[in-house]
């Protein structure tokens, strides 16, 4: 770890971190990115550890994405991650790709950044000089941009214990199975003993420059999550986004699908919360 | 026949399965150099100056070659085939003073390693003057070739009867505008060559991942001013072609040029990003079609006008739009037909055939027309088709339109189209599906059934060659001018040869794609290899067999009628212990004197020159459901009925159909080559150009019907492209059915979710979507 | 390129045999296998991690060898298509591919075989849908996947069948 941080301190912008390589190496092969120094994190001890349980989980940044599908502790503590994981790329992507790598790369259509925001995750960053923590919802700063400084390394992702009577939902629309999402949504919702919503997070991804934490969920607090209300919140959330257009989808398409997916994940989260 | 018709397992598989295939990138020679190509980043630019000094000085670089260094090789490659209306232009091995598409090769860098060559490539300085480029098919775009100001590569009109009068007289008339987008064959193995010049032998050996080694040899001989016998071109194991490897490209001449210039072997392997830019594409056309029909849904007149995007050059002339135009009436009886097209130049990579070759467009047009007629007359779509199909008793049926080669009309030689369609309908339980879909739509689901039928032109000439030889050790070898890119010709041609010779397929060793094997050859494309290549093998093997019988009779002192063959030996029927083997006969033939009465060698070279094209046919039925939330399309069922004459190997035919349908699904729902206004490719990698994966392709049911073609000895018809032809049409039909009466019309392919979303009926808004 | 000046020693076990090479840092694992070790069965279809043709097993995990640097596998274990068959016998998956005509040009086949070997080691009785999903990261342009899926199902059934 110290060696890696030292290299980052010395080379800064000229260095690139290599974790799973599923985002960096294609860009290097296409000669879009030419780092002078590549710092291979794969042998840094303990970066791939998983600690904790349903009372609070800590994932090392180098935990491979396929662990999210396979490790029972993760499925128990953060079922949202276990549900999202099979949609991250393909078998081969997940065998090598890492949780930290996906978060640091911050592709706007990536699943994990959105899930981490929905789970109120806290990211631990280190440099040769200092250590600091950044909540997930402050970490993503725009298209492929994060709070990471040029000499900083994301080392660990901390997931707080989920609230009682909490449920999750995840859905995405992609052109083909495993592709980056055209639009996706994930939600975490918790209800109190009376069934009224006391916590709601809805994150829409793929529609704009980065994952979008919806403000419209505020309207859900204090009342039972009824279908009409969830649909309305979904529509309002979709309107919050400055949707982007590209080769695969128009902005209008993304907004319309975002609204539909938001309603769907809120509905799933509410149903699970009620059953929890 | 013992082996023709058999689901024989493939001879190629053991080596391919164990990683012992030899593709061009696997070929390494001592002293091998690596070439990379510098390509124009502009769709249209003058090239003022190229300074390669820094590149040449880079460590490991052996040479940098531009047009200036090509000498007499610096001229346009020939174009085939000619056409009186064609104002054709072709590319040279490197661009001279003008680049006409993004990706046109401008310079070659040759180095000791590929890594070094790519590094040095970045040091080549090219002074470009970017110019406005033609990026649409509208008139008035910047000229691609200075002396063709209107960008018209050709304008052709094909006619049967008097369409104008027939339209005026028709009780009903309707029109459609249809648009089909560009796509490419996209084999998993990109292009590549290894070339080796031996100064001692003055021989050039070229391994090319190509469908046409004989054509490469001819073009290399022309441009490098060598005699054909000084050049050997071989296609090693080739990882797919689909048309992307059909033409002779600039690189196919350039790499041999480099090998000769440097007197060291040179290898060039195209990378995928290059392939996206520089491998030829096809399909883009804009159609305006008008149909005259009656209240019973009978077609009376069809007029189609279309514009075809041919890209910056015409290496294949007007072949693609001619195929679209000539095949417009498909399997239907239409008394008056007129198809007129303009082939236009654009500053884009050239358009040459890829799997289907202009025919998927024709099928899309005529099948959309039939659905339109069904809708207008309130009739069932399958019934309207049955009412208009050419019937078995009509065969051979002259469609009245000239064929694309100009050698006569499109004449459907054989087939039973109504039976083919009925089998598809029965296999799919079409009526039950239609009812199911109607009920589902009443429930708010977007479920639909589609149907499409087609005929396919196959087995084109001019000829194919085959040489069959039995040597003194009794080994049987068969060389063919066709090439194989996965269609299993090593096995199917062995099945044909084995039947003719009375042996088993493992005993017949087939070599394809080697100009040293047969002097004249054509290659594999246009669903011709098994038909024309197989026929040639049959003829050559028959000759060898006949000669062997004659020699055996002489050797055993009996009449030919008293011979009995068991495997690779003949015996006297009445005294079977008297026997002579193929090996012995070959030895005798090897020393043939005049007295023997035969020419030396137990060998024959024969050509099959088809008198006309053989036409395959088929019908597909598809059931789709559209997710109202995402406008994603799920193909819930897919049924194929097809007739490609006698099947040499039904297992291989099924594989061809599956693969071609998958490719068709790609072109209908996923694959789109998109350019921006400056001619830059937007879908430049596999992140954006989406090929179907295992989750995009349904499980398909296949029903075979075999009506033999009278045009070749075995009754064969081609099948390689068949599956691709009706896919956009059948999916359009199913999607439109699923959208229901309040949904939009499908008039454009490919149809991705964003476009399809705009066609959804209002009732889909806010629907929860499929799980 | 400046980094090429420093060569690294790589020791890696490939198909059970220890191999060594001296490589430049940016050499890809795929090139190490193909160019240095002559194991050309692993193919390059895209070099940007999309087609799966280059899939090998790295320490047992299905890995796109175009996205790993050779230096990264020092001390590691790689399995390629060349290691599947034993002298005189194809691997059951290869046998199933042959019987079902699950390959045509063969270019994508090694990557698909290695992906399925890894997948079937962990999933004894997959459904057709699960196999299609498992294969979604491997492109095939020739077969339309249907025979590949059948072959995979055959191989899975064969592996779980009770001994005769």
First-to-last alpha carbon distance for chain C, in angstroms, is: 59
**Statement to judge: residues C13 and C79 lie in one domain:** yes
Chain B residues touching residue C45 (CB < 8 angstroms): 188-190, 272
Q: What is the pLDDT of residues A136-177, one digit of tens each?
A: 999 999 899 999 999 999 999 999 998 899 999 999 999 999
Q: Where in chain A is the domain with CATH 3.30.465.10?
A: 48-160
In a domain, C140, yes or no: yes
Cβ neighbours of B192 (radius 10 Å): 24
Average pLDDT over residues B395-402: 97
The CATH code that applies to domain B464-608 is: 3.30.365.10
Residue of chain A whose Cα is closest to the Cα of C122: A70
Q: Neighbouring chains of C at 3+ CB pairs within 8 Å?
A: A, B
Give residue C105's pLDDT band: very low, low, confident or very high (50, 70, 90): very high
B285-460+611-764 has which fold?
Aldehyde Oxidoreductase; domain 4 (3.30.365)
Kindly list the domain boundaries of chain B, sorted by start residue: 13-131+189-239+245-278, 285-460+611-764, 464-608
Q: Is B674 in Cβ contact with A263 (below 8 Å)?
A: no
A166-275 has which fold?
Enolase-like; domain 1 (3.30.390)
Q: How far is CA B596 from the centre of its chain?
A: 46
**Distance between CA B196 and CA B32 in Å, rounded?**
9
Q: Does the CB of A96 have a partner CB in chain C at under 8 Å?
A: yes
Q: Which of B185, B188, B651 sits opposite C107 (nearest CB)?
A: B188
Give the 3-state secondary structure of residue B644. coil
What are the residues whose beta carbons fall under 8 Å from the beta carbon of B304, sequence distance 6 or more? B287, B288, B289, B290, B325, B328, B338, B339, B340, B365
Give the 3-state secondary structure of residue A76. helix
User: In sequence order, what DSSP letters do the residues of B305-317 get, joined into one string?
Assistant: EEEEEEES--TTT
Distances (CA, A) of B244 to B190, B249, B485: 9, 10, 11
B744-753: b (≥16 Cβ within 10 Å) or e:
ebbbbbbbbb
Q: Is A29 in Cβ contact with C66 (below 8 Å)?
A: yes
A71-99: b (≥16 Cβ within 10 Å) or e:
beebbebbbbbbbbbbbbbbbbbbbbbbb
Cβ neighbours of A193 (radius 10 Å): 8
Give the pair of three-digit tokens for residue A210: 């980065």
Q: Are B623 and B433 in contact (CB under 8 A)?
A: yes
Chain C residues touching residue B272 (CB < 8 angstroms): 45-48, 51
Most confident of B620-624, B673-677, B681-685: B620-624
pLDDT at residue B34 in the model: 98
Helices (H), B184-293: 213-224, 250-262, 272-278
Q: Is B696 in Cβ contact with A264 (below 8 Å)?
A: no
Helices (H) and strands (E) in chain A, counts: 11, 13
Give residue C158's pLDDT band: very low, low, confident or very high (50, 70, 90): confident
Q: What is the pLDDT of residues B246-267, one digit of tens each?
A: 999 999 999 999 999 999 999 9
**Statement to judge: residues C46 and C107 lie in one domain:** no
Q: Is A21 in Cβ contact with C136 (below 8 Å)?
A: no
B701 pLDDT above the threshold of 90: yes
CATH architecture of A48-160: 2-Layer Sandwich (3.30)
Give residue C162's pLDDT band: very low, low, confident or very high (50, 70, 90): low
In a domain, C125, yes or no: yes
Q: Are C134 and C116 in contact (CB under 8 A)?
A: yes
| Cross-strand partners of A142 | A145
Give the 3-state secondary structure of residue B177. strand
**Statement to judge: residues C69 and C10 lie in one domain:** yes
Q: What is the pLDDT of residues B8-52, one digit of tens each?
A: 999 999 999 999 999 999 999 999 999 999 999 999 999 999 999
Average pLDDT over residues C129-136: 98
| Cross-strand partners of B458 | B614
pLDDT at residue C163 in the model: 65
Average pLDDT over residues B229-241: 98
Residue of chain A whose Cα is closest to the Cα of C67: A25
Q: Is B674 in Cβ contact with A177 (below 8 Å)?
A: no
Q: Are B638 and B701 in contact (CB under 8 A)?
A: yes
**Statement to judge: residues C69 and C105 lie in one domain:** no
Q: Are B547 and B582 in contact (CB under 8 A)?
A: no
Give the pair of three-digit tokens for residue B699: 């499980």
What are the residues whose beta carbons fall under 8 Å from the beta carbon of A110, sequence distance 6 or more? A88, A102, A180, A205
Q: How far is CA B693 from the centre of its chain?
A: 21
In a domain, C164, yes or no: no
Q: Is A178 in Cβ contact with B630 (below 8 Å)?
A: no
Cβ neighbours of A62 (radius 10 Å): 23
pLDDT at residue B596 in the model: 87
Domain count, chain C: 2
**Statement to judge: residues C78 and C37 lie in one domain:** yes
Range of the domain at C59: 2-83
Distances (CA, A) of B313 to B145, B187, B338, B344: 9, 22, 27, 10
Helix (H) or strand (E) holding B99, with range, is: strand B98-99
Of C48, C63, C83, the last residue of a domain is C83
The share of chain A scoring above pLDDT 90, in percent, equals: 95
Q: Do domains B285-460+611-764 and B464-608 have the same CATH topology?
A: yes
Closest by CA to B501, choosing from B440, B451, B547, B457, is: B547
Q: Does the CB of A14 have a partner CB in chain C at under 8 Å?
A: no
Q: Are B532 and B713 in contact (CB under 8 A)?
A: no
Query: What's the CATH number where C79 sits?
Result: 3.10.20.30
- Rounded to the nearest 5°, which phi and psi values hold at B93? -55, -30
pLDDT at residue B184 in the model: 97
Cis peptide preceding B396, ω within 30 of 0: yes
State how far residue C98 is from chain A, nearest Cα, in angstroms.
24
Q: Which of the residues A260, A261, A262, A268 would you substitute to probe the B interface, choosing the one with the greatest number of B C-beta atoms within 10 Å?
A: A260
Give the 3-state secondary structure of residue B495. helix
* Lowest pLDDT segment from B63-72, B90-99, B150-159, B679-688: B679-688
Q: What is the 3-state secondary structure (H, E, C) of B546-562?
A: HHHHHHHHHHHCCCHHH
Average pLDDT over residues B163-176: 98
Give residue C153's pLDDT band: very low, low, confident or very high (50, 70, 90): very high
Q: Are B699 and C128 in contact (CB under 8 A)?
A: yes
**Statement to judge: residues C7 and C77 lie in one domain:** yes
Average pLDDT over residues B711-737: 97
Q: Is B753 in Cβ contact with A253 (below 8 Å)?
A: yes
Distances (CA, A) of C84 to C30, C114, C124, C156: 18, 9, 18, 16
Average pLDDT, chain B: 97
In a domain, C14, yes or no: yes
Give the 3-state secondary structure of residue A57. strand
Interior CA angle at B340 toward B335 and B346, to 5°? 155
**Which CATH number applies to B13-131+189-239+245-278: 3.40.50.740, 3.40.50.300, 1.10.30.50, 3.90.1170.50?**
3.90.1170.50
Q: Does the CB of C41 have a partner CB in chain B at under 8 Å?
A: yes
Q: How far is CA B501 from the centre of its chain?
A: 31
Chain C residues touching residue A14 (CB < 8 angstroms): none
State how far residue C164 is from chain A, nearest Cα, in angstroms.
33
Distances (CA, A) of C162 to B485, C116, C118, C122: 39, 21, 21, 18
- Running DSSP on this structure, what letter comes out for residue A50? E
Query: What's the CATH number where C101 sits?
Result: 1.10.150.120
B501-514: b (≥16 Cβ within 10 Å) or e:
bbbbbebbebbbbb
Give the 3-state secondary structure of residue C38. coil
**Statement to judge: residues C65 and C100 lie in one domain:** no
pLDDT at residue B362 in the model: 98
pLDDT at residue C164 in the model: 56
The share of chain B scoring above pLDDT 70, in percent, equals: 100
Is the ipTM beyond the 0.90 threshold?
yes
Give the pair of three-digit tokens for residue A84: 């999202």
């Amino acid at each position: 770890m110290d060696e890696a941080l030292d290299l980052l301190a010395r080379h800064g912008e000229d260095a690139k971190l290599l974790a799973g390589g599923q985002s960096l190496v294609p860009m290097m092969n296409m000669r879009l990115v030419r780092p002078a120094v590549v710092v291979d994190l794969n042998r840094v001890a303990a970066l791939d550890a998983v600690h904790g349980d349903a009372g609070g989980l800590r994932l090392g940044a180098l935990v491979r994405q396929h662990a999210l599908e396979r490790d029972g502790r993760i499925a128990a503590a953060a079922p949202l991650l276990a549900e999202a994981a099979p949609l991250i790329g393909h078998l081969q992507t997940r065998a090598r790709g890492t949780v930290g790598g996906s978060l640091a790369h911050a592709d706007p259509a990536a699943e994990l950044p959105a899930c981490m925001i929905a789970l109120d995750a806290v990211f631990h960053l280190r440099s040769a000089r200092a250590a600091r923590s950044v909540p997930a919802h402050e970490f993503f700063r725009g298209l492929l941009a994060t709070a990471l400084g040029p000499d900083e390394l994301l080392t660990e992702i901390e997931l707080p214990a989920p609230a009682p009577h909490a449920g999750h939902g995840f859905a995405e629309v992609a052109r083909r199975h495993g592709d980056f999402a055209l639009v996706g949504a994930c939600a975490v919702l918790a209800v109190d003993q009376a069934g009224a919503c006391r916590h709601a997070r809805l994150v829409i991804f793929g529609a704009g420059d980065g994952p979008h934490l919806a403000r419209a969920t505020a309207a859900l607090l204090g009342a039972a999550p009824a279908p009409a209300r969830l649909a309305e919140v979904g529509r309002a959330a979709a309107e919050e986004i400055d949707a982007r257009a590209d080769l695969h989808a128009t902005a209008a398409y993304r907004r319309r699908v975002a609204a539909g997916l938001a309603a769907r994940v809120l509905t799933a989260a509410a149903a699970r919360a009620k059953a929890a | 026949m013992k082996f023709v018709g058999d689901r024989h397992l493939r001879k190629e598989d053991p080596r391919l399965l164990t990683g012992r295939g030899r593709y061009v990138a696997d070929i390494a020679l001592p002293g091998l150099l690596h070439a990379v190509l510098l390509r124009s980043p502009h769709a249209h630019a003058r090239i003022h100056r190229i300074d390669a000094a820094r590149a040449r000085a880079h460590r490991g670089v052996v040479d940098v070659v531009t047009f200036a260094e090509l000498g007499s090789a610096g001229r346009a490659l020939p174009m085939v085939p000619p056409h009186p209306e064609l104002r054709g232009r072709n590319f040279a091995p490197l661009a001279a003073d003008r680049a006409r598409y993004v990706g046109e090769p401008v310079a070659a860098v040759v180095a000791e390693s590929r890594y070094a060559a790519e590094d040095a490539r970045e040091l080549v300085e090219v002074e470009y003057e970017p110019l406005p480029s033609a990026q649409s098919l509208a008139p008035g775009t910047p000229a691609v070739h200075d002396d063709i100001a209107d960008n018209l590569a050709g304008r052709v009109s094909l006619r049967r009867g008097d369409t104008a009068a027939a339209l005026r007289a028709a009780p009903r008339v309707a029109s459609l505008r249809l648009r089909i987008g560009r796509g490419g064959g996209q084999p998993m193995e990109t292009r590549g060559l290894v070339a080796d010049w031996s100064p001692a032998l003055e021989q050039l050996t070229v391994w090319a991942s190509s469908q046409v080694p004989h054509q490469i040899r001819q073009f290399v001989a022309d441009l490098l001013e060598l005699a054909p016998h000084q050049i050997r071109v071989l296609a090693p194991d080739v990882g797919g072609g689909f048309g992307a490897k059909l033409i002779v490209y600039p690189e196919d001449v350039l790499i041999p040029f480099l090998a000769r210039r440097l007197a060291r072997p040179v290898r060039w392997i195209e990378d995928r990003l290059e392939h996206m830019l520089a491998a030829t594409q096809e399909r883009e056309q804009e159609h305006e079609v008008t149909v005259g029909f009656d209240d019973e849904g009978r077609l009376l007149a069809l007029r189609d006008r279309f514009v075809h995007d041919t890209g910056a050059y015409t290496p294949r002339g007007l072949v693609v739009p001619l195929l679209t135009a000539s095949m417009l009436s498909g399997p239907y009886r239409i008394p008056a037909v007129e198809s007129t097209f303009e082939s236009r130049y654009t500053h884009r990579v050239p358009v040459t055939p890829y799997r289907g070759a202009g025919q998927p467009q024709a099928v899309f047009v005529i099948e959309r027309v039939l659905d339109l007629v069904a809708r207008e007359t309130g009739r069932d779509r399958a019934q309207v088709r049955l009412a208009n199909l050419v019937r078995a008793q009509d065969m051979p049926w002259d469609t009245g339109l000239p064929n694309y080669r100009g050698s006569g009309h499109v004449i459907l030689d054989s087939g039973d189209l109504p039976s083919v369609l009925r089998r598809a309908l029965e296999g799919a339980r079409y009526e039950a599906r239609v009812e199911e879909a109607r009920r589902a739509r009443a429930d708010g689901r977007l479920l639909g059934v589609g149907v499409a039928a087609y005929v396919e032109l196959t087995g084109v000439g001019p000829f194919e060659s085959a040489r069959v030889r039995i040597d003194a050790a009794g080994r049987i070898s068969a060389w063919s001018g066709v090439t194989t890119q996965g269609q299993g010709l090593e096995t199917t041609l062995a099945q044909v040869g084995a039947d003719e010779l009375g042996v088993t397929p493992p005993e017949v060793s087939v070599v394809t794609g080697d100009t040293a094997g047969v002097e004249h050859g054509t290659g594999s494309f246009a669903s011709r290899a098994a038909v024309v290549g197989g026929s040639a093998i049959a003829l050559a093997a028959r000759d060898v067999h006949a000669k062997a019988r004659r020699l055996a009779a002489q050797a055993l002192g009996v009449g030919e009628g008293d011979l009995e063959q068991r495997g690779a030996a003949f015996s006297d029927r009445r005294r079977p212990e008297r026997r002579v083997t193929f090996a012995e006969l070959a030895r005798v033939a090897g020393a043939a004197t005049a007295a023997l009465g035969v020419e030396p060698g137990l060998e024959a070279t024969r050509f099959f020159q088809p008198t006309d094209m053989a036409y395959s046919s088929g019908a597909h039925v598809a059931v789709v459901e559209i997710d109202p939330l995402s406008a994603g399309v799920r193909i819930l069922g897919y049924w194929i009925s097809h007739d490609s004459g006698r099947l040499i190997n039904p297992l291989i035919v099924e594989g061809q159909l599956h693969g071609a349908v998958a490719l068709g699904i790609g072109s209908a729902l996923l694959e789109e080559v998109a350019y921006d206004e400056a001619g830059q490719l937007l879908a430049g990698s596999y992140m954006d150009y989406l090929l179907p994966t295992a989750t995009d392709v349904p499980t398909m049911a296949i029903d075979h019907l075999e009506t033999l073609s009278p045009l070749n000895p075995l009754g064969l018809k081609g099948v390689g492209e068949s599956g691709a032809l009706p896919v956009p049409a059948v999916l359009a039909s199913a999607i439109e059915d699923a959208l229901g009466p309040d949904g939009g019309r499908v008039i454009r392919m490919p149809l991705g979710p964003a476009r399809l979303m705009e066609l959804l009926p209002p009732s889909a808004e806010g629907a929860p979507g499929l799980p | 390129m400046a980094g090429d000046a420093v060569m690294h020693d790589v020791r890696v076990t490939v198909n059970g045999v220890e191999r060594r090479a001296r490589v430049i840092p940016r050499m890809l694992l795929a090139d190490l296998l193909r160019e240095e070790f002559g194991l050309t069965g692993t193919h390059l279809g895209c070099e940007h991690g999309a087609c799966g043709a280059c899939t090998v097993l790295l320490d047992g995990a299905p890995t796109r060898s175009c996205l790993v640097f050779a230096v990264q596998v020092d001390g590691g274990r790689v399995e390629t298509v060349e290691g599947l068959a034993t002298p005189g016998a194809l691997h059951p998956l290869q046998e199933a591919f042959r019987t079902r005509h699950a390959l045509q040009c063969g270019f994508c086949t090694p990557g698909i075989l290695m992906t399925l070997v890894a997948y079937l080691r962990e999933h004894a009785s997959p459904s057709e849908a699960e196999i299609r999903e498992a294969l979604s990261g491997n492109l095939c342009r020739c077969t339309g996947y249907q025979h590949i899926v059948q072959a995979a199902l055959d191989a899975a059934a064969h592996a779980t069948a009770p001994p005769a």
